[in-house]
Amino acid sequence: MSLKTISFSSHPAGRMFIVGFAAVTLVLWFMSKSLFVFAAIATAWCVYFFRDPRRVTPTRAGLVVSPADGIVVGVREVVPEPGLGLSATACTRISIFLNVFDVHVNRIPADGVIKSRIYRPGKFLNASLDKASEDNERMSLTLEMTGEHPYAGKILGFVQIAGLIARRIVCDAQEGSTYKAGERYGIIRFGSRADVYLPAGLQPQVALGQRMVGGETVLADALSSEPARQGDVRE
């Protein structure tokens, strides 16, 4: 097995935490063996939390991929609230909840150009609750979709939402920047939510309760005529 195969990468936003946890663990080695064990476990969890794995993103024009790992906790028609940079036209919002064991690196959902970036301070409610989309601290981005498909030129919205434990949203995307679907653009620390607002008329191709893989799972297809997808739990 090559070193490239077994290499491990972490997101830059987490490296200072990993170093800090490791330093405390080293000090506790000389002070208290029992506390050292707890600190070592915490350090290992910190390394795991900030992992930044490679992803294989489908590249066909018109695909919208998940911006985050996690569970779909909401697929519903909404009128975007003011302050997101979106029009007041009803559209589908897909909400993804990330627990503390999910990869928290966020990825661009579709090919396009960032049109707006809006930060809003707020509460830190449990991110699995529907009202977190409106009340919690968040960073919202809008993207003008590009490519050879019927929704080229339409606006897609996606939002990083802080959660009960998360207290820091990191967003590297800037207005005017051009992205490909699946490219990294930020991270949320520690446990959070990601919302995607599809352009009006674009049907979701995921079901409530489905697990997402950021940068890989297809949320919608601009070239498909399939209606909104339904799903049942299979034991």
List the chain domain ranges: 3-49, 63-221
Task: Domain 63-221: state its class.
Answer: mainly beta
Exposure of 168 in the CB half-sphere (CA atoms within 13 A): 10
Q: Give how far Cα 166 sits from Cα of 66, 91, 195, Å.
A: 20, 27, 16
Let me know if 225 is a catalytic residue.
no
Exposure of 148 in the CB half-sphere (CA atoms within 13 A): 2
**Among 25, 100, 109, residue whose Cα is nearest residue 62:** 109
**What does the pLDDT profile of the chain (235 residues) look like in tens digits?**
333 434 457 667 666 767 877 787 888 778 887 888 888 888 887 777 778 899 999 999 999 999 999 999 999 999 998 888 888 899 999 999 998 889 989 999 999 999 999 998 766 555 555 555 666 788 999 999 999 999 999 999 999 988 665 557 889 999 999 999 999 999 887 668 899 999 999 999 999 999 999 999 999 999 999 999 888 888 8
**Look-up: residue for tokens 């979701």?**
204
Q: Give how far Cα 138 sits from Cα of 50, 161, 170, 234, Å.
A: 20, 4, 10, 34
pLDDT of residue 165: 57
The DSSP secondary structure of 57-113, one letter per residue, reads ---STTEEE-SSSEEEEEEEEE-PPTTSS--SS-EEEEEEEE-TTS--EEE--SSEE
57 vs 94: CA distance, rounded Å: 19
| Residue of 10, 133, 192, 224 with catalytic role | 192
